[in-house]
Amino acid sequence: MKSHTNIDWDRKARTSLPEVIYAENKSVEHLLDIFDAHVQSQTPLLMTRLTDAQLHALAPHNVFCDLVARTAVFRAPKIAPNAPKLAVVTGGTSDHKVAKEVISTAQFFGLNAVLFADLGVAGLWRLQERLPELREFPLIVAIAGMEGALFSVLAGLVCAPVIAVPTSVGYGVSQGGQAALTSALASCAPGVLTVNIDNGFGAAAAAAKILRPTAVSEKDTGAIVF
């Protein structure tokens, strides 16, 4: 590995989650060096917040790229049939990019992530129709911008904890996600946990630790065993 990066190969042993590479602001050359190190060691790798140039550079390689989530995965694990389940709920279609980052990250960590899209409370019937399904999940990630009303409404209707991801969707007093963040932090519904604005990765990482999948990678198949 070149001198610009010290990869934390032992992070999974310490924290249960492997190191994930935050790609934004890294040069293409540096990112490819990091990727090559993982290829040489055959270590699974998730890269997040990839730029167009980085995605283009990774395209010829053996990685799965999600252009919406801006993620790329090398040696993606297979999700076990009995993997812990995570519901990912969005307030609107504009939140889809962050939701995809949650799902890509959760799947990399071995979770069975299921998307429930466009259930914002401006049309409360949409959420009400899906409540029987949502109540089957042990943990929910809720993603919303604007005023962030989804967090409190959803947490008041389900038993599961809700991880709130405020998004920078909105304008005016929404202030790039600040209004949704304030709503999440000030929620009167018990059981709402909050991550930073647009932090889909952080929400998925927290979900993986809460659900505590005791995952072991099988070198031959790349499967996750629970």
Which range in 10-14, 82-86, 209-213 is most confidently predicted, on average pLDDT? 82-86
Quick one: average pLDDT of 24-39? 90
| Residue 86 near residue 112 (C-beta atoms within 8 A) | yes
Q: Give the rounded distance of the alpha carbon of 189 from its chain centre.
A: 23
Tens-place pLDDT, residues 62-78 = 899 999 999 999 988 88
Domain boundaries defined on the chain: 11-75, 85-211
* pLDDT at site 221: 37
Which pLDDT value is given to residue 2? Answer: 63
Q: Tens digit of pLDDT for each residue in 133-182? A: 999 999 999 999 999 999 999 999 999 999 999 999 999 999 899 999 99
pLDDT of 94 > 90? The answer is yes
What integer pLDDT is reported at residue 111 of this predicted model?
A: 94
CATH topology of domain 85-211: Rossmann fold (3.40.50)
Average pLDDT score, the chain: 89
Q: Is the pLDDT of residue 40 over 60?
A: yes
Structure tokens at 169: 């969707």
pLDDT digits (tens, 9 = 90+) for 212-224: 754 444 343 344 4
Percent of the residues in the chain that have a pLDDT greater than 70, as a whole number = 92
